Amino acid sequence: MIPLVDLNAQYLSIKSEIDEAINSVLAKSDFIRGEAVFRFENEFAKYIGTDYCIGCGNGTDALELILKALKIGPGDEVIVPALTWIATAEAVVNVGARPVFADINKYSYTLDTEDAEKRITPKTKAVIPVHLYGNSADMAAIADLAGRNNLFLVEDCAQAHGAEYLGKKIGSFGIASAFSFYPGKNLGAYGDAGAVVTNSEDLAQEMRMLSNHGQTDKKNLHFVSGRNSRLDTIQAAVLSVKLKYLDKWNLKRTEAARYYISKLGHTDYILPDCKPDTKHVYHLFTVRVKNREKLMERFSVSGIACAIHYPKPLDILDPFYDSSQKTCEVASLVTQEILSIPLFPEITAGQQDSVSDILFEHYKG
């Protein structure tokens, strides 16, 4: 059996450090807003290259906190790419605003800025590019689009911890950026966790308050009606240990991706596109194939995991469908052909050979 991701193998490789970090939280029992939370927030802000990091409950909450702090709500529209995990659009709906879906680029699978521009109305307040599968969106074009149209640029970095655009870490381009530490992400906790990063002191303060019942550091002093979305101390302790390994693990992902690309170069699968100006961190390795069902069957028979990220573009998904909007054709085509194959830092060349063998077999027909 070859899994899509092997969380246990990763845990075993750093077991003593993780166990020690968790035990030290247990010894102090500072489970909420403990020392490890503030330590991790500082480390992560430094890693991304921003002034502030605010830990929170998960990546969806991170997006929501940003939108709320930017005062985006009822009557406002936010541009979201049609191909992403549902959370990007849910966060918009959860603050009372309307997600407007834009199409994606056929090869990078990230936001198509020309299509996004056509969907801007006087109600549009923000644009949320998603660095899908670990690949940076075209940040120059998106920053230009946001600047010319006076939109907030909010990055969804949930799949791209450590990815870069023109030598700069993604997450440092927008007014604020959301990260998820869901266990299977490139930097994953051992449960739900998330964070926002920003250079704005005002926004940082506002988001910290919103995420902690409207309080600042003083308990029982409530400035706004907020919510409860805090980063657990145990999760923060785990994340501090794992952050030290993130670059090494991303490099292993890149090496594994290159191995697939070198093996599959002569086939007609459409492989991930990585431009020289970006550093892809291969959260997922996707191939595009015409008769996908048959290929999935071959994988299944051979005990190899594969998955579709995602089966339907969000613009035609029931909760969001709006018949007045032009559908996103590229996203629709890509969702019919895309398939994620096993890739994780601990994958072996032997495992990759087995996966590639199935792909060859299928290619030859």
Ligand X SMILES: *Cc1c(COP(=O)(O)O)cnc(C)c1O
CB 23 within 8 A of CB 363: no
Among 130, 154, 204, 330, binds ligand X (CB under 6 A): 130
Residues 157-186 that bind ligand X (CB under 6 A): 158-159, 180, 182
Nearer to ligand X by Cβ, of 112 and 192: the residue is 192
Choose, by CB under 6 A, the member of 40, 44, 47, 85 that binds ligand X: 85
Half-sphere exposure for 20 (CA within 13 Å, toward CB): 7
CB 169 within 8 A of CB 199: no
Using the rule CB under 6 A, give the single segment among 52-60, 141-149, 209-217, 240-248 that binds ligand X. Answer: 52-60
Residue nearest to ligand X (CB): 59
- Asked if residue 60 binds ligand X (CB under 6 A), the reply is yes
Of the residues 129, 194, 226, 272, which one makes contact with ligand X according to CB under 6 A: 194
**Given 10, 50, 84, 254, the residue binding ligand X (CB under 6 A):** 84
Which residues in the 8-27 window bind ligand X by CB under 6 A? Answer: none
Q: Which of 25, 36, 41, 58 binds ligand X (CB under 6 A)?
A: 58
Q: With 0-12 CB in 10 A as exposed, 13-18 as middle and 19+ as buried, what is 43?
A: middle
Q: In the complex, what is the shortest distance from the CB of residue 158 to ligand X, in angstroms, rounded to a whole number?
A: 3
Query: Contact region for ligand X (CB under 6 A) — 82-90, 119-127, 215-223, 262-270?
Result: 82-90
Nearer to ligand X, 60 or 124 (CB): 60
Cβ at position 270, least distance to ligand X in Å: 21
Distances (CA, A) of 80 to 34, 126, 161, 192, 300: 35, 9, 20, 23, 33
**What tokens were used for 204?**
């940082």
Quick count: other Cβ atoms within 10 Å of Cβ 349?
11
Cβ contacts of 91 within 8 Å, gap of 6 or more: 60, 63, 64, 67, 178
Count of positions on this chain that bind ligand X (CB under 6 A): 15
Question: What φ, ψ does residue 259 adopt, rounded to 5°?
Answer: -65, -45
Q: Residue 49: helix, strand or coil by DSSP?
A: coil
Strand 152-156 versus strand 164-165 pairing type: unpaired
Please identify, using beta-carbon distances, which residue of 60 and 177 lies nearer to ligand X: 60
Residues 219-238 that bind ligand X (CB under 6 A): none
Q: Which is nearer to ligand X, 187 or 358 (CB)?
A: 187
Which residue number, 242 or 362, has a Cβ lying nearer to ligand X? 242
Q: Quote the least distance from Cβ 265 to ligand X, whole Å.
A: 28
How far apart CA 177 and CA 179 sit, in angstroms, is 7
116 binding ligand X? (CB under 6 A): no
Q: What is the DSSP letter of 104?
A: B
328 vs 359 by CB, closer to ligand X: 328
Question: Of residues 319-348, which lie at the interface with ligand X (CB under 6 A)?
Answer: none
The residues near 345 (Cβ < 8 Å, ≥ 6 apart) are: 10, 248, 249, 250, 252, 253, 256
- What distances in angstroms separate CA 88 from CA 4, 16, 22, 59, 301, one per listed residue? 23, 35, 31, 9, 34
**Least distance in angstroms from the C-beta of 301 to ligand X:** 29
For residue 360, the tally of other CB atoms under 10 A from its CB is 12
156 binds ligand X (CB under 6 A): yes
> Exactly one of 59, 174, 342, 345 binds ligand X (CB under 6 A); which one?
59
Which residues form the interface with ligand X (CB under 6 A)? 58-60, 84-85, 87-88, 130, 156, 158-159, 180, 182, 192, 194
